[in-house]
Structure 1
């Protein structure tokens, strides 16, 4: 990669870091780099990750996005993407979360997997990924875009940390076996009203599949998934916008639920 292109990608990472702080969105990145591809986008994402870690933030886990066929079709892709989140981005049951700390937040109901052992790809099988899952929690991802008006394509959202804003995760594990995850149903409620429902099979056909995919993609970069990390494998439903004064609930029926509040 030329020095000029490297400097350009680094400047876009700096622009996204600034947008995260100021909450002033920026123009789509795809129009600012000739022939921008997903490798460029992940380089921009990784530059931000390293900047945050250098500033003292602690990595809590990873999220997988674009796991539904509908979202992949919308962005013209045939695979998921991934991002990261830090301990100071993680909330819990009944959290009071400032809507104004985001640009244009939306919520998605998900599983939250806590790994009981490390996964190091490439070559991680579905069975190995399943065996590495420890406790399973109800989770909600708050997605947000530092790209103005959610005007994103794949390279935009990848560069923008897969549009991750924050995470909420329950404190009591769901009483469910890994082999039964595909049949679990979850509804997304806004202010107590059901807005969407999906099943585990809506998460890339199998909620464990995104975990294996993530371990292998990161493994190709020499990055393992560590024991104790929290992994969100993807949403049961489409994302819904939220504003101050609203609540969001991931309702897993008899298994339990997770609610957060926006203020």
Structure 2
């Protein structure tokens, strides 16, 4: 993966120290202090270098990349963290939870959930202008999705650099069973309602995601190509939250309806049996 060659300006020692801190948090199942003291709070290169270091470790352990996630697509969240851009993280095969599978709380530290549109690609996005139309043509279909975001950093005390380094605060994800082509619905026009145990906790619209979920996909396609690791056919792209995220606890049942696209749900186990990581790399916890 070419983006693994991302390097910060100075401070390679800080990158290694930040990666080690996040690895310890994942292995010990104990949230850590932020890593911005090691890499700075807004050093984009350093933050992605930490993420790349952890991704390389997972790949060395035999993990398989199945896609990407886009974060910080909400202007309000960008303003909160003092940034003017989205971020991205890596989706591994062992992060996907089927709708019939109960989510084990021991795999998570501080989970929150958000509803979004997942795009599944049927062609590479590696050349050309990568405008909205070319990106649109690359989408085989879309599906409703829940992203179970998580943070290895205690209390979600994060800046832009902290979340990027921590694989964009990734946890797990669920893809709904329903499928729609982009000829059947318009991502920008959808409305979303998410409920936990029957109580509505989040609402949103397609335009809340960087103005249009397809614009978020276009941003990622351009960014990934410029970093030398373009999006590929078959990959799953989580395009970003349509509404505010909500915390979940053991026993919760989460359902999100994206009108025009479908319903997706996740059920969280009643217990919280610890799942201790057997690897020295972030995210290996099964």
TM-score class, shorter-chain normalisation, is over 0.9
Deviations 1:113-136 (A, max 9, x none): 100101126842111111111111
Q: Do the aligned partners of 1:181 and 1:200 also contact (CA within 8 Å) in 2?
A: yes
Please state if 1:33 is matched with 2:34: no
**Structure 2, gaps ≥5 residues long:** 1-6, 270-286
| Equivalent residue runs for 1:98-247 within 5 Å | 98-120=104-126, 123-174=129-180, 177=183, 180-247=186-253
Question: Hey, what does 1:11 align to over in structure 2?
Answer: 17
With 9-18 and 46-55 compared, the bigger mean Cα shift is at 9-18
Q: Structure 2: how far apart are the matches of 1:25 and 1:122?
A: 42
Provide the residue aligned with 2:281 in structure 1. Answer: none
The Cα shift of 1:224 comes to 1.1
Deviation at 1:181, TM superposition (A): 1.2
Distance 2:112 2:232 in 1: 28
**CA-atom RMSD, angstroms?**
2.0
Aligned ranges 1:241-256 → 2 under 5 Å: 241-253=247-259, 255-256=261-262
How many residue pairs are counted as aligned between the two chains? 263
User: Quick check: 51-60 or 89-98, which moved more?
Assistant: 89-98
Could you tell me the TM-score, scaled by structure 1's length? 0.94
Tell me how far apart the structure 2 counterparts of residues 92 and 12 of structure 1 sit (CA, whole Å): 32
Residues 80 and 2 from structure 1, CA distance in 2 versus in 1: closer, same or farther, beyond 3 angstroms?
A: closer
The Cα of 1:29 is off from its aligned counterpart by 1.1
CA distance in 2 between partners of 1:58 and 1:186 (Å): 31
Q: Is the 8 A contact 1:175 1:255 kept in 2?
A: no
Q: Is the 8 A contact 2:115 2:147 kept in 1?
A: yes
2:71 to 60, 65, 70: 65
- The question of whether the paired residues in 2 share the 8 Å contact of 1:122 and 1:215 is answered with no
In structure 2, distance between residues paired with 1:177 and 1:167? 25
> Structure 1 pair 3/235, CA: closer, same or farther in 2 (3 Å)?
closer
Shift in CA distance, 10/143, structure 1 to aligned 2, threshold 3 Å: same
Separation in structure 1 between the aligned mates of residue 100 and residue 106 of structure 2, nearest angstrom: 18
Question: Where do 5+ consecutive residues of structure 1 fail to align?
Answer: none
Contact 1:176-1:255 at 8 Å conserved across structures: no
Q: What is the TM-score of this pair, normalised by structure 2? A: 0.87
Q: Kindly report which structure 2 residues correspond to 1:49-64, keeping only aligned pairs within 5 A, or say none.
A: 49-64=55-70
2:83 is aligned, of 58, 77, 81, to 77
* Displacement of 1:254: 5.8
